[in-house]
Amino acid sequence: MDDGIMGHAVKLINVCKTFPGGVVAVDNVSLELEEGVLYGYVGPNGAGKSTLTNLISGYYTPDKGEIYIRGVRITDFHQSISEGVVKVEQHPNLAPWLTPAEHLALLIPKIFYNVEDLKEKAYELIDMIGVKVDLDARVEDLPIGHLRVFEIVKALILCDLLYQAGKKPILILDEATAFLPIQQKKILKNMLRNLTSLGYTIILISHDLAEVIDVSDEILVMTAGKIVSRFKSEKLDMTELIRSMFDTVLISESTKTSHSYIKEEHALKIESLKVKDDRGHLVVKDLNLTVFDGEVHGVAAIPGTGEKELAECIYGLRRPESGRIIFFREDITKLNVYQRKSRGISFISDDRIRDGLIPDAAVEDNLTIGSERDFSYLRGLLINMKIKETLAKQLVREFSIVAKDVKSPVTTLSGGNMQRVYLARIMGRYGRLLIALHPTIGLDPMGTKLFFDKVAERKAKGLTTLIFSPNIKELITFCDRISVMSGGRIIGTFKAEEASIEKIGLMVSGVA
């Protein structure tokens, strides 16, 4: 065996991958990764990051080139995992009708198995991270934040099983930490650093550049299917990293919203609201919230702590147990989602792939659903396909969506570009109130800039935006006021200039 191949944890030689329609996702990449190193992996949406790691993990087969894991050439998924590669996907990859405990049982497939030991280990890791996850609830009943934590834990358990079997794991986390707040990310960072000391090789894909610089030993930058730069993380300037990715400046330098005067009229007033989750637990408890007309209002919340149920209740997807929702002086508490939409309320879900897109439909269809009045006649009986296509192409340009053809299935796009399609469909129509649930998770820095550019456009038109997010820095930068949600209640509201990351972070975590 060639010593040049044997001497690396991962080695790629001239690897290429092209998808149907001619989309080149990985373009002649050669790469060497060493044992015991934590690699940050960044790049714009559609750069090919997920595709490259799917090739390493054996999910995809390269059109050309060779992939080696510790000297063994990889040709399929089973071979890759047997050599120690474990990947957490960009989007939840769990059977909705199974429980997390049942997914753990699948790690050791036997006719008779005892999953209690694995559950005990899982709860130990979950407690260390600091998030409560019910391992006996069905996946479809759990919030996406809890699913992401479980998938990380499941991957860590599988890595440990491989390690005990004599394999030094290669762990790939593809946007897996996106729903974790700052405190939990710090805990996970320490866990990952301990694993690299055991010889693990870790690849962390993230659009949170501050996190990548903080956690990684080395950062790889990918654009247009190629690895274009490699940086040592120590003393790396974020501006240099951004310019390597986009040839532009930091978002905070180029898209900073001024916290201007807001009208005192209430766009939204919530009084003593109580809401249950899908399991019947009360997660919103006597909550009060006031959002002024024309403001950008942020709600800082740890994912999975009732913020999704609150957002869905405001939009009409979930009925409250008690309390009132007032929208521009009208009590809309008993109105359904269609009636609320007709009054100008729109909603961006946190699970944008599952809730926001029709996977079998074209990019064009996903962009224009709900806008039929703009391109149809006789109450929708006749459709002008030319106007529909023009509208779709306009949104592709406005939201910088990388798509080969608007007629192609939306699933031919990268994960980040699929999310842009959903954002374009909702934000391309200017509703009086936009409710955005974790809107920037999964977006690259330029996608995040684009989102807040559109929020600024809404503000300039006098429209109201309500943003739920664990990213306190973004909320302070772009919102007029920030409310803190903890324990199912709003426990404080601050003007942006009065808030700090430390202060809000302690409150949202229940410490202060």
400 and 324 within one domain: no
Region of 447 (left: φ > 0; alpha: ψ -120 to 50; beta: rest) is alpha
State the pLDDT at residue 493: 95
3-state secondary structure of 81: helix
Between CA 66 and CA 12 the distance in angstroms is 6
Distance separating alpha carbons of residues 366 and 460, to the nearest angstrom: 27
pLDDT band at 254, cuts 50/70/90? very low
Residue 320 has pLDDT above 80, yes or no: yes
Task: State whether residue 362 is helix, strand or coil.
Answer: strand
Q: Is residue 352 part of a domain?
A: no
- Domain membership of residue 302 (yes or no) is yes
Q: Is residue 230 part of a domain?
A: yes
- pLDDT, residue 348, reads 93
Q: Which of 406, 430, 454 is the last residue of a domain?
A: 430
Using 50, 70 and 90 to split pLDDT, how confident is the model at 318?
Answer: very high
**What is the arithmetic mean of pLDDT over 331-358?**
90
pLDDT for the residue 483: 96
**Assign residue 156 a region: left if phi > 0, alpha if psi is -120 to 50, beta otherwise?**
alpha
Residue 252 has pLDDT above 70, yes or no: no
Task: Give the C-alpha separation, 194 to 122, whole Å.
Answer: 18
* pLDDT over threshold 80, residue 2: no
| Secondary structure string (H, E, C) spanning 388-451 | HHHHHHHHHHHCCCCCCCCCCEHHHCCHHHHHHHHHHHHHCCCCCEEEEECCCCCCCHHHHHHH
pLDDT at 457 > cutoff 60: yes
Looking at the fold, whether 137 and 237 belong to one and the same domain comes out as yes
Of 102 and 251, the one with more pLDDT: 102
Domain shared by 238 and 111, yes or no: yes
Mean pLDDT score, 459-482: 92
Residues above pLDDT 90, as percent of the chain:
44
Q: How many domains does the chain have?
A: 3
pLDDT in tens, 16-68: 998 776 678 899 999 999 999 999 998 877 788 889 999 999 889 999 999 99
What is the pLDDT of the chain when averaged over all its residues?
86
Would you state the pLDDT for residue 249? 38
Predicted local distance difference test score (pLDDT) of residue 4: 55
Residues 293 and 224 in one domain: no
Of the candidates 187, 222, 250, which is a domain's last residue? 250
What pLDDT band is residue 495 in, cutting at 50, 70 and 90? Answer: very high
Domain identity same for 451 and 478: yes
Residue 351 belongs to a domain: no
Q: How, if at all, do strands 23-33 and 10-19 pair? A: antiparallel
The band of 246, judged by pLDDT with boundaries at 50, 70 and 90, is: low
Task: Name the one residue in this structure whose structure tokens are 């996850």.
Answer: 133
Cα(245)–Cα(223) distance, rounded to whole angstroms?
Answer: 7
Q: Are residues 96 and 163 in the same domain?
A: yes
Which of 300-304, 363-367, 415-419, 505-509 bottoms out in mean pLDDT, i.e. has the lowest?
505-509
Same-domain status, 390 and 305: no
R_g of the chain computed on alpha carbons: 23
Domain annotation covers residue 112 = yes
* Confidence at 415, pLDDT banded by 50, 70, 90: confident
The reply to whether 372 and 477 lie within a common domain is: no
- By the 10 Å C-beta count (0-12 exposed, 13-18 middle, 19+ buried), 445 is classed as buried
Q: Indicate the pTM of the whole model.
A: 0.68
Looking at residue 47, its pLDDT comes to 81
Q: Is the model's pLDDT at 87 over the cut of 90?
A: yes
Domain for residue 259, yes or no? no
Q: Confidence band (pLDDT; 50, 70, 90) for 259?
A: low
The domain that holds 282 is classified in CATH as 3.40.50.300
Q: Are residues 114 and 235 in the same domain?
A: yes
The pLDDT of residue 90 is: 81
pLDDT of residue 7: 67
* Percentage, residues of the chain above pLDDT 70: 91
Regarding whether 192 and 290 lie in a shared domain, the answer is no
Residue with tokens 């009086």: 432
Determine the structural domain holding residue 424 and report its residue range. 357-430
The predicted-structure confidence for 169-226, as pLDDT tens digits, reads as follows 999 999 888 778 777 888 899 999 999 999 999 999 988 888 888 899 999 988 888 8
For 98-102, 106-110, 478-482, which range has the lowest pLDDT when averaged over its residues? 106-110
- Establish if 258 belongs to a structural domain: no
Q: What confidence category does residue 480 fall into, taking pLDDT thresholds of 50, 70 and 90? A: very high
Task: Let me know whether 278 and 308 are in one domain.
Answer: yes
pLDDT tens digits along 268-298: 999 999 999 887 889 999 999 999 999 999 9
Nearest 10 degrees: CA dihedral of 445, 447, 452, 454? 160
59 within some domain = yes
Residue that terminates a domain, selected from 250, 277, 302: 250
Cβ neighbours of residue 258 closer than 8 Å, sequence gap 6 or more: none
Does residue 251 have a pLDDT over 50? no
pLDDT value at 229 more than 90 = no
Q: Are 226 and 335 found together in one domain?
A: no
